[in-house]
Amino acid sequence: MIFFEIITTFRDITLDILPLIIISLVLAAVLAQYFSPRSLDRLIQGTPSRAVLVSSFFGVFLPATTGCRVPMAAIARKSGAAWAPVLTFIAAGSAAGVSTLIVTLLLGWQLAVLRIIIALLSALVLSLVVTKFIEPRFATAAMDCEVEPLFDNDFCEYCFEAEDDAPPVLRLSRVWRSLARGARVVVPWLALSLLLASLIEVVVSEETVTALLGGPLEAPKAALLGLPFYFVFGADVPIIYVLLKKGLSLGGAVAFMLAAPVVNAPVFAIVGRWLGYRRALVFLALCWLVAAAIGMLFGYMDAR
């Protein structure tokens, strides 16, 4: 029966990914003791080019969800940081992150390395576009916003507490609190991703995947797949795993990996509270365009 096939597939994928998820959550909880909501603000002082470079690498390797990155970016912006490093930290960093890379190992180390490359590439492209088009239009926006309420949402694993100014001492109680908050944010969406992946594996044929996602617009369409969800910390990996088996191209996978953690309804709501919903829509549309363009580039290279 189809129902039992779905349950079996769900169990198998869960058993494959569960050790990686546990490692990623524990590592994120430990590393969270060594950075604070003001970490980005402290790191990107200096020239604009240096700020973009630092924010890109810090964002790509920081184990934090998109909902946690937005208030960190808001703090930096309130202190006077330019838009390019602030927005690339959110978008490009969300596509990777140490925890996300660990879970991506389910797809093979090659795709985990590729995820780092495309995240840094998207940071470069996004910073150029933001400097050219966004910086003049956003002007002094979000310089005087209240940052603390941005941490108070269901999609951020960090609480804006007094411990922000505490010395970086590894305490088991703090690690446990960070682990519990991270699991609260990530696990429900991971479970949904596993269920969707199981349904795709059992119910959806390769022909259907090709019909819906194939063609020259595969990357732009794949970049929209995560729109209703909040796939962070590698929660997109189970869906990529089964879609690749069903015929999704490398370009489509790249676009999905770049877009899913940031081009979605929850992030739109969080960014909207910070910048206003019109600017949030512009930002997410820009992230989608960059993800689609890079996906199409890799799809073209893979097809040759």
* Predicted pLDDT of residue 59: 86
**pLDDT value of position 160:** 53
Say if residue 264's pLDDT is above 80.
yes
On the question of pLDDT at 102 being above 60, the answer is yes
pLDDT band at 139 (very low <50, low <70, confident <90, very high): low
Per-residue pLDDT band for 162 (boundaries 50, 70, 90) equals very low
Q: Which residue has the higher pLDDT, 23 or 34?
A: 23
Mean pLDDT (whole number) for 152-168: 60
Contact 267, 227 (CB under 8 A): no
284 pLDDT band, cuts 50/70/90, is very high
Q: How would residue 145 be classed by pLDDT, with cut points 50, 70 and 90?
A: low
Cα separation, 146 vs 79, whole angstroms = 12
- 80, with CB counted inside 10 A (0-12, 13-18, 19+), is exposed
Lowest mean pLDDT segment, chosen from 55-59, 155-159, 275-279: 155-159
| Average confidence (pLDDT) over 230-247 | 94
- What is the greatest pairwise CA distance in the chain? 62
pTM of the model: 0.90
Kindly report which listed range (37-46, 52-61, 132-141, 294-303) carries the lowest average pLDDT score. 132-141
**What pLDDT score does 168 carry?**
54
Give pLDDT, residue 163. 46
Could you tell me if 71 and 156 are in contact, meaning their C-beta atoms sit under 8 angstroms apart? yes
Q: What is the mean pLDDT of the chain?
A: 87
Q: What is the pLDDT of residue 35?
A: 80
Radius of gyration of the chain (CA): 19
Which amino acid is located at 182 in the chain?
G
Where are the chain's structural domains? 2-303
Q: What is the 3-state secondary structure (H, E, C) of 173-222?
A: HHHHHHHHHHHHHHHHHHHHHHHHHHHHHHHCCHHHHHHHHCCCCHHHHH
Give the distance, in angstroms, between the CA of residue 209 and the centroid of all CA atoms in the same chain. 24
**CA 68 – CA 92 distance, rounded (Å):** 14
> Residue 151: pLDDT above 80?
no
